[in-house]
């Protein structure tokens, strides 16, 4: 069985980029019933376009319906489920039995069980399989040894998180955001309160004199465990990050795509190669989470922010004039004439060159690109295609 690489997408452009750069499937949120409210903006028309785009490439689209529902949240559920079936989404991801049972009664939609349900054993996975749920997304508290044990004894397909943000509460079931700002994390409103900076006291004594205190975990990155997860036979490897940029999605997906393909073809490179590719987009400190065992203090963030904004992504290719060797690009970050750049393509090719010609949209020569989203032309001796990405080389 070929293992699936599953990527997040917060909008239509990100979804297409994820699929082009090597994801076998994407998961997205519609306007309702999704846990990531700010990254769940897919209208029915957008979902239709995405499903058509994916199916033309023999890829899949999963829609999150994974909030913890209250009675008021059930309004419009039937109509929504029937719409998802009509446009042929490949599965829905659920937490609540209210949605699961209604989907079973009304539709033939494939159902996946969200990580929010905290499945960490084969008995529970089999229970849900017998209830008509095809795939179980394991809780992120499982070790690699436990995943192997579950896979050995369950009938359900297993999906495992391999990259992205982690939550300090069990399987993401958090009430901190609700308490702090009245935004229910279990109904799509997480304010990421665990990443805020606090003063830490022991009774009246301030402990955080030199640093603000936070209670967040490092992001997940399990490059070293991918070969073992493939050998175990899990069905899907899942990346988290619907709020991330297209550069992040493309870079991370492509790195894992190369790793999976290289391992399965017997051409695995040193793992540092794939890790270095991810670091071109990753801006937080990472750890292996629970896969290697109980996380220690070094896998948490207590006294500092770890985000380091990256500006290597400078442009997205929109078109190419082969006769004049000019690429039409959309700028994303500041760059200048003479910069060394790297062009990254979905087909896993990388080209290094120097910018020797730079023009504005009217093809007037310029020296500096200062305005994000500006359309520009640069010299490009190698043919490029739309959605190729251009990065500055440090």
Alpha-carbon gap, residue 336 to 243, rounded angstroms: 29
Backbone phi and psi for residue 24, each to the nearest 5 degrees, phi listed first? -85, -20
Into which CATH architecture does domain 4-166+217-294 fall? Alpha-Beta Barrel (3.20)
Alpha-carbon gap, residue 154 to 139, rounded angstroms: 15
- pTM over 0.95? The answer is no
pLDDT tens per residue across span 20-44: 999 999 999 988 787 655 555 799 9
pLDDT tens per residue across span 32-85: 787 655 555 799 999 999 999 999 999 999 999 988 888 888 899 999 999 999
Give CA separation, 172 vs 167, 264, 283, in Å: 5, 32, 21
Residue 388: what pLDDT? 96
pLDDT tens per residue across span 224-255: 999 999 999 999 999 998 778 899 999 999 99
Handedness of CA 243, 246, 247, 249 (dihedral sign): positive
| CATH no., domain 313-392 | 2.40.30.10
User: Could you tell me the residue ranges of all domains in the chain?
Assistant: 4-166+217-294, 313-392
Asked whether 248 and 165 are in contact (CB, 8 A), the reply is: no
Alpha-carbon gap, residue 157 to 59, rounded angstroms: 18
pLDDT tens per residue across span 334-366: 999 999 999 999 999 999 999 999 999 999 999
Structure tokens at 121: 């054993």
Alpha-carbon gap, residue 119 to 115, rounded angstroms: 7
- Reference 94, options 119, 120, 64, 74; nearest CA is 64
- Reference 338, options 374, 376, 371, 366; nearest CA is 366
Give the strand order in the sheet containing 350-354.
Answer: 350-354, 340-344, 389-392, 313-321, 326-331, 375-379, 358-359
* Helix axes of 271-278 and 246-264: crossing angle, nearest 10 degrees: 170
Say if residue 218's pLDDT is above 90.
no
Structure tokens at 364: 């007037």
């Amino acid at each position: 069985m070929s293992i699936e690489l599953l990527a997040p997408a917060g909008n239509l452009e990100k979804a297409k980029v994820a699929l082009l750069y090597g994801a076998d499937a994407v998961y997205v949120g519609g306007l309702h019933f999704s846990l990531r409210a700010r990254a769940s903006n897919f209208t029915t028309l957008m979902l239709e376009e995405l499903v058509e785009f994916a199916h033309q490439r023999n890829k899949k689209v999963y829609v999150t319906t994974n909030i913890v529902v209250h009675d008021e949240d059930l309004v419009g559920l039937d109509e929504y489920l029937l719409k998802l079936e009509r446009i042929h989404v490949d599965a829905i991801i659920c937490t609540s039995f209210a949605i699961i049972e209604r989907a079973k009664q009304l539709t033939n939609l494939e159902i996946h069980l969200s990580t929010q349900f905290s499945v960490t054993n084969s008995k529970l996975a089999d229970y849900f399989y017998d209830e008509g749920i095809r795939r179980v997304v394991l809780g992120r508290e499982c070790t690699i040894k436990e995943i192997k044990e579950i896979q050995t004894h369950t009938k359900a397909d297993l999906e495992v998180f391999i990259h992205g943000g982690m939550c300090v509460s069990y399987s993401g079931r958090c009430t901190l955001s609700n308490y702090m700002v009245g935004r229910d994390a279990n109904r799509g409103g997480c304010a990421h309160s665990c990443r805020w900076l606090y003063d830490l006291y022991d009774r009246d004594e301030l402990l955080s004199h030199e640093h603000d205190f936070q209670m967040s975990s490092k992001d997940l990155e399990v490059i070293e465990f991918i070969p073992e997860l493939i050998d175990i036979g899990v069905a899907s490897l899942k990346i988290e990050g619907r709020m991330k940029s297209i550069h992040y999605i493309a870079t991370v997906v492509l790195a894992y795509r190369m790793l999976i393909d290289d391992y399965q073809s017997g051409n695995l490179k040193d793992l540092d190669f794939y890790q270095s590719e991810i670091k071109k987009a990753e801006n937080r400190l990472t750890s292996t989470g629970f896969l290697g065992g109980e996380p220690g203090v070094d896998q948490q963030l207590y006294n500092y922010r770890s985000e380091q904004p990256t500006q290597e992504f400078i442009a997205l290719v929109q078109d190419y004039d082969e006769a004049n060797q000019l690429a039409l690009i959309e700028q994303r970050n500041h760059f200048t004439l003479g910069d060394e750049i790297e062009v990254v393509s979905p087909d896993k090719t990388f080209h290094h060159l120097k910018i020797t010609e730079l023009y504005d949209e009217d093809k007037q020569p310029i020296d500096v690109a200062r305005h994000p989203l500006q359309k520009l032309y640069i010299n490009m001796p190698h043919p490029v295609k739309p959605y190729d990405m251009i990065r500055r080389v440090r």
